[in-house]
Chain A
């Protein structure tokens, strides 16, 4: 088996250890305008076709696992979501489930708290997926779709900000429950917004399935067959696009996912279009789940926060959650004190790299950006910008609207930005 997939063992960056037949070598990254995250890709070509692809990672080691061993379980609740910029809620959710299981309080979490957690997770999935297929369209040279999908993404971002106080890092969860409630007036405000977004996402789906200019770029490109998928073990939408019908919410239900009405999305084609459609369909599913959760919240009452002692008894537990990108796994070991003995995090993107490299074999070099994007290399975004005046050292933080206003004014009256 290892002979068959030896490609990633060639890590020499100068191309001296090139595969037979390759005549050109393209080096992408670690710093590259295409990629927001530092990763180094080496692509060996013969003419216009890819012979082999390789990757080097590790340019952004922050040492979160080591840092967690030096902090208490309570402090780590707020460190864990920082593991990922955009799927922060799912990391926190998996973490609190580990702590609750170790502390033995998982029966005391009220239904209302669990529903609020689920809303946070589903809203995150919606905004992450919309962001992803916007960028995919951008990589395929279809910028109109990027603008339109990101415009509509603002709807769900506003809802998340309204409920949690933050746009991309809701951080609502704590061991024992949730921090904030979703009151009725806020839920009523969110419902028409969600319905509007459902209409918009249906329109996005129509564009992706019908518009020839985007479909030609995605159809039959980077095909990952089911057998290859079983060997390279992709997870999440990457696997579900190749006919592996495994979603943690169905296959190993957590929170209240087994009590809510939703369908598993799975496509068998294995090309990039299938991966895209998996994500768009999942967005629609998540949005209708959000609506269901808001309906259920009205009739569910309960204590939001159960008491969890700072000292966690000895033991170990592995918990997994379905992040927008795939399966997120945490493995925690407690030693009876208030600090973890060992805490292991694996974010989904690492598990998808193998499959993505496999996808590239024999493809055109022009399809590379789309294929590399297909596993959703994850990055963070917020809409607040910081401006620093280099002369005076003055610092201003402003949001999108303020920024636009200031820029327009500066242009109109022909004066400096500050």
Chain B
């Protein structure tokens, strides 16, 4: 059986309700991201044993490491390349990795400079301080070179 204006009631109801977006203006401050949102990993320095499991299982190759032994080493993250799968957390043998759930993070997280936006997750022992800073600077310079290459390729 075919009828016309089956949705008439719905239309009238919506007319009385007013705009759907009106709640948006009321709740400007209280929109926290969901509790279990997925973001980038963080490593607890004391627990990390520099085994390299997280680097091996990372599907997007955004984690890399350099180390001497289990007390001396560093792991860095290429932030925009991380796809928030949480593999590193799942497979970490000592539970040293957790997912960052800081609500303010969601605004700053999406930097799309895929060549330069590195972050040092953990630097232990002799790698702490100068060595780590130097490595980060090196990586950023290298990324800058790559950006230049790509621009040339595009003919900019």
Contact = CB atoms under 8 A, between A and B. Distances in A.
Interface of A: 71-72, 74-79, 144-145, 148, 151, 161-162, 164-166, 171, 174, 179-180, 203, 206-207, 210-213, 215-216, 305, 386, 388, 395-399, 401-402, 404-405, 408
Contacts of B98: none
Nearest to B112: A395
A401 B24 CA distance: 6
Interface string B14-35: 0000001100110110010010
Interface stretch (B85-93, B120-128, B148-156): B85-93
15 contacts: A72-B56, A75-B59, A75-B87, A78-B60, A164-B36, A179-B90, A210-B1, A210-B6, A212-B4, A216-B2, A386-B112, A395-B112, A396-B110, A405-B28, A408-B21
A169 B86 CA distance: 13
Nearest to A148: B10
Contacts of A77: 59, 87
Nearest to B111: A395
Contacts, number: 90
B36 A74 contact: no
B34 A161 contact: yes
B145 interface: no
Nearest to A74: B57
B92 to A, nearest CB: 13
B110 A215 contact: no
Contacts of A215: 2
Nearest to B6: A211
A150 to B, nearest CB: 12
Given A210-B2, A212-B4, A404-B21, A165 B38 contact: yes
A204 to B, nearest CB: 10
B11 A144 contact: yes
A207 B7 contact: yes
B147 interface: no
B7 A396 contact: no
B3 to A, nearest CB: 5
B107 interface: yes
A57 to B, nearest CB: 26
Interface in B89-137: 90-91, 106-107, 109-112
B44 interface: no
Contact of B4 (A203, A213, A305, A402): A213
Interface of B is mostly: loop
B33 to A, nearest CB: 8
Q: Which of B58, B83, B85 has the most CB of A within 10 A?
A: B85
Given A148-B10, A396-B107, A162 B34 contact: yes
Contact of B109 (A75, A78, A216, A397): A397
Contact of B25 (A144, A165, A399, A405): A405
The list of the 10 closest CB pairs from A to B, nearest first, reads: A75-B59, A397-B110, A212-B2, A165-B38, A78-B85, A78-B59, A211-B6, A165-B36, A404-B24, A210-B3
A293 B57 CA distance: 31
Given A78-B83, A165-B37, A211 B59 contact: no
A72 B4 CA distance: 57
A403 to B, nearest CB: 9
Contacts of B91: 74
Contacts of B86: 179
A76 B37 contact: no
Contacts of B56: 72, 74
Given A74-B87, A76-B59, A397-B107, A165 B3 contact: no
Nearest to B87: A78
Nearest to A398: B107
Contacts of A75: 57-59, 87
A408 B2 contact: no
A76 B87 CA distance: 11
A46 B34 CA distance: 55
Contacts of B83: 78
Nearest to B108: A397
A357 B85 CA distance: 38
A161 B90 CA distance: 19
